[in-house]
């Protein structure tokens, strides 16, 4: 059974359409088609149950899902753009390594996680790149609900990194070194000399995608970052495509780009950034070169740090108020819909209920 805002919009309780594996196709009416996006992160409620055997064998599971489509499509000038549901989207985000002051990799509470993600959204960002870490499922649920796109890194691993090669030399001699092949002769320099290490990475890549591909918020997989433990990036892309062909892939974020995947990812820390349209969408992490940006003299009085903080807080509060108004409007429309259709209030548990996340 599928519900939208508490209203049952599709259901099938054991018709002849179900195949031997128990699979059944439910058609969602067009008037209830609400695609997921950062602006409208709509989630459908899903209930799946069994009615075979005795009553003591009956079982029911409550979950949710969303409808959305990721792609790279050319704009009017032929430049490839990130697109969500067929429309170009500007992805403006942060690199999130998941650290916490009290517990390092462990947050103090679920409320703290939700507050942090809400603040990210309130500040105007719509994307987080989860870097070098895989979070508990609850973290991704909050991103699903709040409308935060997630680019998920694989945990690269490998032996001790040769920083002189993968970091210092690569930056000094760019772009000459940044496009070196990640073929077998370089696996030792890239910290993947052992066959067991490469096999471990393949297994963890598969486990990561299988564990997280159910979350609508995941928009892109990132198999490698800045050469850390990189090997056969093309093979990693193919493995991801086999497991999940509904999302984008950033083959090699930063450098050692092999020309595959959907994203030409550039990490530019010291040199002027030059971007040319190509066969893939461009994603850039860039720092300004010292001395290249000069501020013009102004007759206006500079704001103090306190004034800047006050202005920023005011911006955040205004954003929260606006988001609250939008949410209240949605709730009011749903109540009016229920009243007009004479639909009873939903009684199914939701992810906000305490027992929703408990295992049987």
* pTM greater than 0.85 (yes/no): no
The answer, yes or no, to whether residue 171 has pLDDT greater than 80, is yes
For 49-63, what is each residue's pLDDT tens digit?
A: 877 667 777 788 999
What number is the average pLDDT over the span 214-234? 96
Cis peptide, bond prior to residue 175, ω within 30 of zero: yes
For 81-106, what is each residue's pLDDT tens digit?
A: 999 999 999 999 999 999 999 899 99
pLDDT-derived band at 127 (thresholds 50, 70, 90) equals very high
The answer, yes or no, to whether residue 334 has pLDDT greater than 60, is no
Residue-level pLDDT at 14: 65
Residue-level pLDDT at 50: 77
Name, of 152-156, 310-314, 324-328, 342-346, the range with top average pLDDT. Answer: 152-156
Q: What percent of the chain has pLDDT over 90?
A: 57
Helices (H), the chain: 110-122, 137-146, 163, 170-172, 195-212, 233-243, 305-341
Q: What percent of the chain has pLDDT over 70?
A: 75
The answer to which of 85-89, 221-225, 313-317 has the lowest mean pLDDT is 313-317
The answer to which of 133-147, 251-265, 304-318 has the lowest mean pLDDT is 304-318
Angle CA 49–53–57, to nearest 5: 60
Residue-level pLDDT at 270: 80
Tokens describing residue 263: 């994203």
What number is the average pLDDT over the span 115-124? 96
The answer, yes or no, to whether residue 23 has pLDDT greater than 90, is no
What number is the average pLDDT over the span 324-345? 57
Residue-level pLDDT at 206: 98
The torsion angles phi and psi of 147, rounded to 5 degrees, stand at 85, 45
For 260-297, what is each residue's pLDDT tens digit?
A: 999 988 888 887 777 777 778 776 665 544 333 233 33
**Are the C-beta atoms of residues 233 and 256 closer than 8 Å to each other?**
yes
Q: What is the DSSP string of 24-40?
A: ---PPPGGG-----SS-
Average pLDDT, the chain: 82
How far is CA 301 from its chain centroid?
Answer: 41
pLDDT-derived band at 18 (thresholds 50, 70, 90) equals low
The torsion angles phi and psi of 82, rounded to 5 degrees, stand at -65, 130
Residue-level pLDDT at 280: 80
Residue-level pLDDT at 276: 74
CB atoms within 10 A of CB 217: 27
């Amino acid at each position: 059974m599928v519900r939208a805002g508490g209203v049952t919009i599709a259901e099938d309780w054991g018709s002849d359409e179900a195949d031997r594996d128990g699979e059944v196709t439910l058609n969602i009416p067009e008037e209830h088609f609400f695609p997921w996006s950062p602006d409208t992160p709509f989630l459908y409620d899903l209930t799946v149950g069994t009615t075979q055997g005795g009553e003591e064998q009956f079982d029911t599971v409550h979950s949710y899902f969303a409808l959305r489509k990721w792609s790279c499509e050319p704009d009017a000038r032929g430049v490839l753009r990130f697109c969500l549901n067929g429309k170009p989207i500007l992805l403006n985000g942060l690199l999130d390594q998941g650290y916490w002051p009290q517990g390092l990799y462990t947050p103090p509470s679920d409320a703290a996680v939700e507050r942090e993600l809400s603040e990210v959204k309130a500040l105007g960002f719509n994307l987080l790149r989860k870097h070098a870490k895989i979070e508990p499922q609850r973290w991704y649920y909050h991103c699903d609900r709040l409308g935060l796109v997630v680019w998920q890194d694989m945990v690269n691993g490998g032996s001790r990194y040769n920083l002189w090669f993968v970091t210092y030399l690569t930056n000094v001699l760019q772009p000459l070194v940044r496009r070196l092949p990640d073929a077998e002769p370089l696996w030792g320099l890239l910290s993947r000399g052992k066959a067991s290490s490469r096999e471990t990475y393949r297994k963890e890549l598969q486990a990561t995608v299988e564990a997280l591909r159910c979350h609508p918020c995941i928009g892109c997989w990132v198999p490698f970052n800045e050469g850390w433990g990189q090997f056969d990036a093309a093979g990693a892309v193919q493995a991801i495509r086999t497991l999940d062909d509904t999302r984008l892939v950033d083959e090699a974020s930063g450098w050692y780009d092999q020309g595959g995947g959907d994203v030409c990812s550039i990490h530019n820390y010291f040199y002027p950034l030059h971007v040319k349209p190509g066969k893939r969408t461009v994603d850039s992490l860039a720092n300004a070169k010292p001395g290249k940006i000069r501020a013009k003299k102004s007759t206006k009085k500079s704001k103090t740090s306190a004034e800047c903080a006050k202005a920023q807080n005011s911006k955040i509060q205004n954003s929260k108020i606006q988001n609250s108004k939008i949410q209240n409007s949605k709730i009011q429309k749903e109540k009016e819909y229920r009243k007009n259709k004479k639909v009873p209030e939903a009684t199914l548990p939701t992810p906000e209920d305490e027992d929703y996340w408990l295992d049987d």
